[in-house]
């Protein structure tokens, strides 16, 4: 395999990894939404807790604004879910 072929192979592997990461990312968002709704918590409740606007949080849940780790931990704290419990089903 020449250098160009090796680079293409690496590119394909990276795309595959990104695809799996995106699937996991959106599964995390879906789980946050499901947990929020199961507890009867509105988006506005979480917005007020996080100190952000409703539109900002809506974009987080839809995946158009990236969810950072600190915000995720704050959401889990508000929902009274430990990170280990939340991520138990993720591999």
pLDDT value, residue 5 = 79
Helices (H), the chain: 3-38, 43-50, 54-62, 69-78, 83-86
Model's pTM, two decimal places? 0.80
Q: Please say whether the beta carbons of 27 and 59 come within 8 A.
A: no
CA-to-CA dists, residue 80 to 74, 77, 83, angstroms: 10, 5, 10
pLDDT value, residue 19 = 84
Average pLDDT over residues 43-67: 94
How is domain 3-86 classified at the architecture level of CATH?
Orthogonal Bundle (1.10)
Q: Which of 49, 26, 46 is nearest to 37 (CA)?
A: 46
pLDDT value, residue 90 = 84
Interval 57-85: pLDDT, tens = 999 999 999 999 999 999 999 999 999 99
Structure-model confidence comparison of residues 8 and 64, the more confident one: 64
pLDDT value, residue 68 = 94
Q: With pLDDT > 70 as the criterion, what percentage of the chain qualifies?
A: 100
């Amino acid at each position: 395999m020449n250098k160009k072929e090796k680079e293409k192979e690496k590119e394909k592997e990276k795309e595959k990894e990104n695809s799996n990461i995106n699937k996991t990312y959106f599964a995390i968002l879906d789980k946050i939404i499901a947990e929020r709704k199961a507890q009867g918590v509105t988006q506005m409740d979480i917005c007020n807790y996080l100190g952000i606007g409703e539109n900002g949080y809506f974009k987080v849940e839809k995946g158009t604004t990236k969810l950072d780790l600190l915000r995720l931990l704050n959401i889990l704290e508000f929902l009274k879910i430990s990170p280990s419990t939340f991520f138990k089903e993720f591999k």
